[in-house]
Structure formats: C-alpha cells, structure tokens
A and B are shown apart, each in its own frame.
Chain A
Amino acid sequence: MAEVKILTEHYHDDNYRTVDGYLAKNGYEMLKKALKMQPTEIITLVKDAGLRGRGGAGFPTGMKWSFLPNNGEERYLLCNADEGEPCTFKDRMMMERAPHQLIEGMIISAFAVQSKKSYIYIRGEYFYAADVLRKAIKEAYDKGFLGKNILGSGFSHDLDVYCGAGAYICGEETGMISSLEGLKGQPKLKPPFPAVKGYLAKPTVVNNVETLASVIYILRDGVQEYRKNGTEKSPGTKLFSVSGDVMKPGNYEVPLGYPLKDLIEKECGGLKPGRKLKAVIPGGTSAPVLTAEEAYKATMDYECLANMKSMLGSGAITIIDDTRCMVDLLGVITHFYHHESCGQCTPCREGTGWLNKIVRSIHAGNATVNDIDTLCKVADNMKGRTICALSDAAALPVLSFVPKFRSEFEYYIREGKSQVRGISYAQMHH
C-alpha cells in the first residue's frame, strides 16, 4: 500500500486554486450531478459510504445531517476551518491549494441539508488561506455556482468567510457558533445540540473542511468505490499531518487503516539517522501518546487507536524520537491548554492551570514525587466533567505521558534535570 491521492490528486497543480484550473480538472461536475438528485438521496449516499467527521470526533456525517428537525426553520451549514489542534495543518493546505474543492463540497452538502446560507469559520492566523478562499468564492459567484438559482436548479445558496480571532476553543463546534454569533467564544451547554438549536438558535450542521470536500468524491465514485479504501468502520482516505522527528514531515493522504509504521518509514522517509522512535502522538496533542512499541502496532483508523486508548483525532501525527524529553514536552502541552481554556467550567479553568503549575514546578526542581500522583489525580478529575472536551484534551496527555514515561518524571524530580538531555529546564532555555 501507498499513498492514495483522491482529495489531493491535483494539489501539485498551481492553477488548481483558480476556477479555470479547477474546471479543467472536471471541477464542479459533481455539483451539477448533485443538483439533479434529491437532497435525501445525497444524505443516504453519504450515510452508506460511512463518511466520518474528519475534524476529530469521527462522528458519522450522514447521521449528523439526518438529525436536523423537519420544522421548516432556516438551516445553516458551517464549515469548521478553525484547525486549532496543535500539529494539524491539513485544512490549511486544502484551502490554499484547492479552495474550489471546499466550495463545491459545501454547496453539495448545503443542498443535501437544504441550507440557504453557509459560513466558513477560518482560523484567524490563516490570512493567506482566507484570501484565497475569498477570491475563489468571488469566482464561484461569477460563474453562477453560488448565489440565486444555481445552474438553473432553483436552489440558491450564499457562502461567506468569517475569520476567527485565534482561540483554540472556537474550534469546538458550539464555541465556534458562539464566536460566529459575535459572542465570546465559549462552548454552549448541550442539549440542545447544534442540529436542533445552533447558529442564531436555528438548526445547524458543522463539518470539517476535509469532510465537506470528501462528499464530492463519494458522489463521483459511488459508495462501492469509495469504500474500497479504508476499513469497514472507517472507510475512505484521510489526510495526515505528520510532524516531528521524521525526514520528510508533511501532509499525506492514505487510506484509513494504514499502518503507522509504514507511514513513518515509507512515506515520511523514516526517522533521522541514528535516532530511535520513542513515542507518537497520533491525533493532535489532545490524543493520548503512544509508546514506540504501540506505535509500530497501530493502524491509522478510529477503532484501532480507540482500542489503544488513544484517538485518531484530527490526524495530526507527531513523531517523537529518543532525544526528546517527555517532561519538557508535557510542559508545552499543559501550557497550551492552560492558555486556551475558555474559563467557563471550573474543573477546566482551575485544573488546566493547576496541571501546568505542577509541571512547571517539576521543571524548576521544586516538586516532590507525590506531585506526580497529584498530577494524575487532578487530570483524572477534570476528565468528563465539563461542557466541552477541552478539559479531557488537557487531561488525556497527562494521563498518558505520566504513566507511560513515569521514570523520566521521577528522574527529573530526583535529579532536577532531564534524563534524556542531562540538563535542567533553566539551562535548556537560557
């Protein structure tokens, strides 16, 4: 097996980001096909294809769409392009290289859920991608793919880009909705779920960039063909953003269920010479870390990683080799979640800060061995106690780093320096 380029087939072509270049590669053909179908047909197709959300949770997309109530209320489709999960950079490439792919996918999806208005909520730092998207949307309007009565089908749709302000929490779907409504970016209580009461209290679907783009290829290839890639429960291909200590980091599109070992050694050219694999974070920093042993056994699909008590998440794979100190890395992660907690729920607001402070005191040499247990206890009690999953995201790395690399933490506390690097935090950073 090797890379299977479905989404990324034409990404090498610089012209692909313009409407002409996109049309030259049979772009917007599937839109024409979709507009002739019944909306429910498309939903059934997506359901049968088993497409799962590519943003992190892996929730079946077709199912999400069918949750919308049939009460005649206005519906909204939101594209989540916030991509805040550390080490993820697949959506950025998709939007920069193939904006029309996303736009086409969104119009098809909007048609399927019968939404007249959709927004792309894009991460604040993605200036260039937002620029590319805005240009592409203008082109699509000019060509009649957006606006009133699209291609004479009677279906009208408007699309807009909305830039976030750089908060991680706005990648959570209800946080994103709050932000889009002009409120403080804080997740909302569920129930009601966005499918019932979302943006402006109207039924709303929120999907990731990659999910929406994938809809085109389900339509193009049909269910049978689409399911040829991937596993029974995780069909299709997925983009993985590989970063860290490999020779060729980058975005790779492989079928789900692809062995992690192959991805590291074949696609990414293996580790740097003389280095050994120590750990892998398989789904963005909020996913529990895998040890080298586990990583070599893992296949990149939702089920296998769930069995290993980790998760596929956004598909951001961070490779950690034996020169990295896990105590330092955990410090980076806890600092991030402390900085990004929205502060709504008490366990997360106080807990993320507490975790970070304990790790910092380990770095500073002020901690005792008991603090390791406190660290785990705090993380354990933050898990599953809040409105959104940020608290879990902050707790899970702690609950995997500490038990799996406990000796490194104990060494750090005992000796006041890193076991791997042989120097203290202060020496390393000054």
Chain B
Amino acid sequence: MLKCTINGKHVEVKEGTTVIQAFKMLGEEIAHYCWHPALSVAGVCRLCMVEIEGNPRLQIACNTAVTEGMVVTNKSEKVKDAVKWGLDFHLINHPLDCPICDQAGECGLQDQYMKFGKYDPEMAEKKVNKHKAVDLGERVVLDSERCILCSRCVRFTEEISKTNELGIFNRGDRSEIGTFEDKPMTDKYSVNTVDICPVGALTSKDFRFKQRVWFLKDRPSVCPGCSTGCNVDVYYNREGFWRVKPRYNPNVNDYWMCDEGRDTYKYQNKFDTVVVGHRGEKEVMKNVNRVINPMHITGGHAEMMDVQFLLQKISEKLGASKPADVALVVTGQSTNEELSAIVSFFASKFDKKNIYHWQNEPEKWNEFDGLLMRGDKNPNTKGLLKVLEQNGVQAQLWKPSLTAGKLTIVVAPENHSAYKDFSAMVKWAGSGQSTIWLGPGLHEDMGMQGEWWVIPGKTTFEKKGSFENFNGHVQSFEPVTTVIDAAVSADEFVTLLKGANFLEIHKIYRNPVERVENQFIFERGEM
C-alpha cells in the first residue's frame, strides 16, 4: 500500500493505482474526457492536469502512477488555469449548438464549462467545418463538429466489443471519427459508444430528438433481455419509458449492455410509436402495444371488465374445474416471487403434473457471444427451475403436440420477439376450451378461438421482484413506474384469487402519480 496526499486528504492506495483513480476513490472532483475506468489510458484530452509536489511541470492524472509520499493537488491556480485553457481548446472548434443538441443536459462540455469556465471566448477566427449527421449504422449518428476526439468510442470497439470498426481518420484539426470505407457499424454493442461519448457527437438514433433529458427521471432496474441480467437505469416520464442505459455492476455487466437489451423498453410502453411515410409527409402512428384492460373474449368478441369482477369470475371457474382439467404454463420471464407464488398456489389446488414450461429455442440457451449477450432470452430461467424443484414439480415442455387442457392458465412472456413460436402458441392455446392469459402484450389471435380471460400483466420495469441470472446471481429490483393501471403481476394475481382487494394491491405497488399523454404540455401548460 502506498500513502499519498490528494488535495490535502491522506489516502492509502494499492500499488499501480493512477492518480486519477485515487481522486475518484476520494470523491475529489477532477475534469476528464478521454479517461474511462474500463478503457485503456489515452491521455489526449489533457484536462486531468494535476500539480505534483517537486515536479515543475503539470502532469496528467490518468497516466501518472501514485508513488509513496506523493503530494498532489488540482486546486492550485496553475492547474485551474491549465484546465480553463484545456476547455478552451476543446471549445474553439465546437459548434456550441446546445439548443439543438441531444446531449444537452448530460454533456461533459456543458458540465465542465459550468464548473471551470464561465468566460467569454477568445477565439475570433472561423471554426473548422466537418461532416454533420453522419450515419454510422443502424443505431448511431455522428456529428463530427461536436466531436472532441477523446477516442473513447474507438477504444471501445477496439478493446471491449473487439469489432475495431471505428477509427480516427485524417490528422490535426481535420481529424474525424469514422468507420473504415464508410461501412455501416454492425457492432452489437454500438450504443455503448453513445453512452461513453462525453459530448453530443455520437447520438442514439432511437432516442435522439424524442425527449429532453432534464424532463426524464431514471430509476434502476434489471434488463429482461436475456439471462445475463445487465443492470440498467430506465429513463421514464409520465408518458412511459424512453430509454435504457447500462448501470455499473462489476459482477455482471461492468459498464456495458447490448443494443438488443436497449430495445426492451419498447414493448413495455403502452404505445409503440411508429413513423410512417417519407420525408415531408411523415406521420406518427401509435399502435397499442399492451393489454390495457382486463377482457373476457369469446368468439372474437371482447368484453372489457373491471379486474376485480374478472377475477371473481376466474375464481369461480377455477373452483368449478376438476384438478386434472387445469393446466399452468410458466416461462423464465417472470420473477422468482411471481413464480413461487403461482406454482405453489397451483400445486396446492391442482395437479402438479399439469405444469408446463414454455421455452424459447432451448437449443440456443448455451450460446454466448463472449461479452454479454446470451442465447437464453429469459432473464430468470435459473430461478424458474429452482422454484419448480422446490415445489417438487417436473415441468413438461409446452408444445402444440400436447393435448390442450380444458382450462389453461398462461403466465405469458413479456418479450414476444424472443419467442419465435409465440403466434403458434397463442393459436394453440385458443384451441383448448378456455384460457386464462396473464401477460402484458397483445396478439391479434387472442380470443379468436375458445374462451379467453385476458388479464394485463406487468412488465419487468413495472414489477418488484428478483431474477436469477445465468450464473446464479440473484438481483432484485423495484418498479420504475407504472404504465398500465390495471396491470397485475403473477404474485398479485394469486393474492387477488385468494380474495384480496385490487385497490389494496394498487396502493401497495403503484406510485400514485397522475400520468399524462403529453409531458411537454403537462409541464408548460397549453399554449
């Protein structure tokens, strides 16, 4: 262990620690753009300047290792001046188009300027012009003028995703980020470059121009995209979810998540917003994405019902059925709490043999791309298997070749796109006599055949519960916000069947906020 003094505070650090890491450990403020804890040191932004006692020259904290007895400060006038100028060099060719920039509000340049800058620019010359709105691929857009060439994105594709797709082309102040031969980026982790971009140079096609970040709130959750269970922050407002960003967890996902996982908020929203048409005649279509009301469907005719009333009907129906006639279908997309509630409830009343496990492409479950993405698109397969074992259940695979039960309770998966056989299974479920469908998503074939009780299910970001990931790491999470008022999770469903009042549950699990369709009008008032 080495002893050193940072801004007058004494600290002991391990050998090989850099000065910037020591600053971070102490929570001392230090400006930096190119340094990122998970990437190699580039040492190019020259903002993390520190003054080391006995060294007349300022040093960069990111490439200086702590030595015994080192006395470091970044509070001296010399350092402040260097940082001010460092920022000035970053800004002279920056377009300063914050009002139309999507990064505004979470931009490194803005933050540093508010901390260290607040001066009038001395640059009176013409700025360098570079390429604007460069399409880097399916998900990322580049604005070269805003780019400060910190090379974080380049190092990300080199060191983390290992696709080596990005590079810095040209030289001097003509340098620009780009892909080789302008090929589109095919990186499955490309949006991470947007996250680590300290400025508005790289923006996500999915999120840009949708919301101002200061109108959004974020809450932690877990990605339901696959069995890795990346820790995420979900950005939401009263209209719903807007984006998913990775949250640091060294045991699971480090700082990263895959692009596929970032789409998981989409199916959890009430509406799926689709832009139709070409430039100039664009039309925004809002397709309903989720089951909004509890329904009783017979012969394609849906009858909206109050959830309490519907549950009463279901309860009666279940009570009248023979144990052998009732089946339960579960998936690894439900939380441990939901599964243990519903499985033990079912096991206590009906025949354990009638519990089925709906699997999506189980032959792919062991696939792994080497970084985060796994073939098992269920976040809680391991938890499900444990729950089944605890209840002494030997679940059968749910597939169309089995005879449909007289009454099937389906705790449906929330992420339909991961289930290739989803349509087929919905049709299959309908071929039985009656189906109790507890799931968040809609499907056109629901209720076309047989008798259906559809109960809007909660999605991961609305639930409180826990997932067990591929290596047995149990992660619990709290609800982010509620999108569908009437939605219930499987454990709530069981509580309700046992006779609880929906409003009681509503109180427990909902945050009582009024939701509005248009956040902007809500904040500003009608104009």
Which of A's residues lie within 8 Å of B, judged by CB? 167, 184, 189, 191, 338-347, 349-354, 357-358, 361, 371, 374, 377-378, 381-382, 384-387
Q: Are A374 and B85 in contact (CB under 8 A)?
A: no
Pick from B82, B89, B122, B171: contact of A343, CB below 8 A. Answer: B171
The 5 closest A-B pairs by CB, nearest first: A343-B175, A357-B125, A381-B85, A341-B172, A353-B173
C-alpha gap A358/B122 in the complex (Å): 11
Q: Are A354 and B58 in contact (CB under 8 A)?
A: no
Most chain B CB neighbours (cut-off 10 Å) among A191, A340, A344, A351: A344
The residues of A that contact B463 with a CB separation of less than 8 Å are none
Give, as a whole number of angstroms, the nearest-CB distance from A397 to chain B: 17
Give, as a whole number of angstroms, the nearest-CB distance from A363 to chain B: 12
Q: Are B170 and A343 in contact (CB under 8 A)?
A: yes
Q: Are B172 and A385 in contact (CB under 8 A)?
A: no
Which of B's residues lie within 8 Å of A, judged by CB? 41-47, 49, 57-58, 63, 81-82, 85-86, 88-90, 92-93, 122-126, 128, 148-149, 167-168, 170-175
Q: Are A191 and B124 in contact (CB under 8 A)?
A: no
Pick from B58, B82, B92, B126: contact of A350, CB below 8 A. Answer: B92
- For B45, the closest partner residue in chain A by CB is A346
The residues of A that contact B170 with a CB separation of less than 8 Å are 343
Known: A374-B122, A381-B82. A343 touches B172 (CB 8 A): yes
A-B contact pairs, 12 of them (CB 8 A): A189-B41, A343-B170, A343-B172, A345-B45, A346-B45, A347-B86, A350-B92, A351-B89, A374-B124, A381-B89, A384-B58, A387-B44
- For A352, the closest partner residue in chain B by CB is B172
C-alpha gap A346/B174 in the complex (Å): 12
- For A347, the closest partner residue in chain B by CB is B89
Q: Are A341 and B173 in contact (CB under 8 A)?
A: yes
Q: Are B44 and A346 in contact (CB under 8 A)?
A: yes
Q: Are B89 and A358 in contact (CB under 8 A)?
A: no
The residues of A that contact B63 with a CB separation of less than 8 Å are 189, 191
Q: Are A342 and B171 in contact (CB under 8 A)?
A: yes
C-alpha gap A371/B123 in the complex (Å): 10
C-alpha gap A285/B127 in the complex (Å): 26
- For A351, the closest partner residue in chain B by CB is B89
Q: Are A385 and B126 in contact (CB under 8 A)?
A: no
Pick from A353, A377, A384: contact of B57, CB below 8 A. Answer: A384
Q: Are B168 and A350 in contact (CB under 8 A)?
A: no
Pick from A189, A343, A377: contact of B43, CB below 8 A. Answer: A189
Pick from A343, A347, A381, A382: contact of B168, CB below 8 A. Answer: A343
C-alpha gap A167/B122 in the complex (Å): 30
C-alpha gap A264/B479 in the complex (Å): 83
Most chain A CB neighbours (cut-off 10 Å) among B49, B58, B149: B149
C-alpha gap A191/B16 in the complex (Å): 13
The residues of A that contact B42 with a CB separation of less than 8 Å are 189, 344
* Additional A-B contact list (14), CB under 8 Å, known A338-B173, A353-B173, A378-B122: A189-B41, A191-B63, A340-B172, A342-B171, A343-B149, A343-B173, A345-B44, A345-B46, A346-B45, A346-B47, A346-B86, A350-B173, A354-B92, A381-B81
The residues of B that contact A167 with a CB separation of less than 8 Å are 171
The residues of A that contact B88 with a CB separation of less than 8 Å are 381
- For B89, the closest partner residue in chain A by CB is A350
Known: A346-B90, A346-B148, A347-B46. A341 touches B171 (CB 8 A): yes
C-alpha gap A382/B170 in the complex (Å): 21
Pick from A189, A349, A381, A386: contact of B172, CB below 8 A. Answer: A349
Say what secondary structure dominates the interface of chain B.
Answer: loop
- For B128, the closest partner residue in chain A by CB is A353
- For B123, the closest partner residue in chain A by CB is A354
Give, as a whole number of angstroms, the nearest-CB distance from B367 to chain A: 34
C-alpha gap A38/B27 in the complex (Å): 54
C-alpha gap A389/B319 in the complex (Å): 84
Q: Are A385 and B86 in contact (CB under 8 A)?
A: yes
The residues of B that contact A343 with a CB separation of less than 8 Å are 149, 168, 170-175
The residues of A that contact B128 with a CB separation of less than 8 Å are 353
Q: Are A346 and B89 in contact (CB under 8 A)?
A: yes
Q: Are A354 and B125 in contact (CB under 8 A)?
A: yes
Say what secondary structure dominates the interface of chain A.
Answer: helix
- For B148, the closest partner residue in chain A by CB is A346
The residues of B that contact A378 with a CB separation of less than 8 Å are 122
Most chain A CB neighbours (cut-off 10 Å) among B58, B170, B173: B173
The residues of B that contact A189 with a CB separation of less than 8 Å are 41-43, 63
The residues of A that contact B173 with a CB separation of less than 8 Å are 338, 341, 343, 349-350, 352-353
Known: A344-B44, A350-B93, A374-B122. A385 touches B171 (CB 8 A): no
C-alpha gap A350/B128 in the complex (Å): 10
The residues of A that contact B174 with a CB separation of less than 8 Å are 343
Give, as a whole number of angstroms, the nearest-CB distance from A253 to chain B: 35
The residues of A that contact B90 with a CB separation of less than 8 Å are 346, 350
The residues of A that contact B123 with a CB separation of less than 8 Å are 354
Q: Are B41 and A353 in contact (CB under 8 A)?
A: no
Give, as a whole number of angstroms, the nearest-CB distance from A53 to chain B: 21
The residues of B that contact A345 with a CB separation of less than 8 Å are 43-46
- For A371, the closest partner residue in chain B by CB is B124
C-alpha gap A257/B404 in the complex (Å): 101
The residues of A that contact B125 with a CB separation of less than 8 Å are 354, 357-358, 361
The residues of A that contact B85 with a CB separation of less than 8 Å are 347, 381, 385
C-alpha gap A385/B89 in the complex (Å): 12
The residues of A that contact B41 with a CB separation of less than 8 Å are 189
The residues of B that contact A340 with a CB separation of less than 8 Å are 171-172
The residues of A that contact B89 with a CB separation of less than 8 Å are 346-347, 349-351, 354, 381-382
C-alpha gap A199/B148 in the complex (Å): 29
Most chain B CB neighbours (cut-off 10 Å) among A353, A377, A378: A353
Give, as a whole number of angstroms, the nearest-CB distance from B59 to chain A: 10
The residues of A that contact B171 with a CB separation of less than 8 Å are 167, 340-343
Pick from A339, A347, A357, A374: contact of B126, CB below 8 A. Answer: A357
Known: A346-B89, A351-B89, A357-B126. A184 touches B45 (CB 8 A): no
C-alpha gap A349/B124 in the complex (Å): 17
Give, as a whole number of angstroms, the nearest-CB distance from B15 to chain A: 15
Q: Are A346 and B149 in contact (CB under 8 A)?
A: yes
Q: Are B46 and A346 in contact (CB under 8 A)?
A: yes
The residues of B that contact A338 with a CB separation of less than 8 Å are 172-173
- For B125, the closest partner residue in chain A by CB is A357
- For A386, the closest partner residue in chain B by CB is B46
- For B43, the closest partner residue in chain A by CB is A189
C-alpha gap A377/B82 in the complex (Å): 12
Give, as a whole number of angstroms, the nearest-CB distance from B487 to chain A: 50
C-alpha gap A352/B125 in the complex (Å): 13
C-alpha gap A15/B63 in the complex (Å): 51
Give, as a whole number of angstroms, the nearest-CB distance from B119 to chain A: 12
C-alpha gap A167/B170 in the complex (Å): 12
Most chain A CB neighbours (cut-off 10 Å) among B44, B90, B122: B44
- For A344, the closest partner residue in chain B by CB is B44
The residues of B that contact A357 with a CB separation of less than 8 Å are 125-126
Q: Are A353 and B93 in contact (CB under 8 A)?
A: yes
Give, as a whole number of angstroms, the nearest-CB distance from A187 to chain B: 10
Q: Are B172 and A342 in contact (CB under 8 A)?
A: yes
Most chain B CB neighbours (cut-off 10 Å) among A345, A352, A361, A377: A345
Give, as a whole number of angstroms, the nearest-CB distance from B393 to chain A: 56
Most chain A CB neighbours (cut-off 10 Å) among B47, B58, B86: B86
The residues of A that contact B149 with a CB separation of less than 8 Å are 343-344, 346, 349
Give, as a whole number of angstroms, the nearest-CB distance from B161 to chain A: 19
